[in-house]
Amino acid sequence: MPIIKAVRGHQPQIPDDCYVAENATIVGEVSLGKQCSIWFNAVLRGDVHFIKIGNKVNIQDGAVIHATYQKSPTTIGNNVSIGHNAIVHGCTIKDNVLIGMGSIIMDDCIIESNSIIAAGAVVTKNTTVESGSIYAGVPAKKVKDISKKLISGEIDRIANNYVEYSSWFKD
């Protein structure tokens, strides 16, 4: 049974068509859109500020989504994949984004639509990632532009795959 808990009077909002793994944790002011999946050991902590998540978002195993008290909420758009063990903290991620495994997105960053953050990248505070680009490294910097083929071939494919994968786990 996942931990789904109200904090400071805020109950997580989770549509019926979402999948939440048995050992995931979702607490406080967290709202999920439709067709989302929250995977094993993922933690969404809406205790200090709100977390708003769009449709068809997958938050993979071990990822942590949090915010900064009274300063920086976390907003995630539609069709977003958050890779295994990523940390997304007090930032805005727009639509059609892939956040790679083990990457860190820090406070007040804006990840524009149709972007990829490479595995292991650290996007430092206040960084704006350009739409249609790939950022990599520590600290993360733009390494190249994304083709339309890569957007549909990777970003869309992964988001769609996770909708399918989650169907395997639903009763």
> Six-digit token pair at 115?
């972007």
**How many structural domains are present in the chain?**
1
CATH of the domain at 21: 2.160.10.10
Q: Write out pLDDT tens, residues 36-73.
A: 999 999 999 999 999 999 999 999 999 999 999 999 99
Instruction: Provide the residue range defining the domain that includes 138.
Output: 3-169
Distance CA 20, CA 96 (A): 21
Q: Is the pTM of this model over 0.85?
A: yes
Q: Write out pLDDT tens, residues 115-166.
A: 999 999 999 999 999 999 999 999 999 999 998 887 778 899 999 999 999 9
Report the DSSP pairing between strands 64-66 and 25-31: unpaired
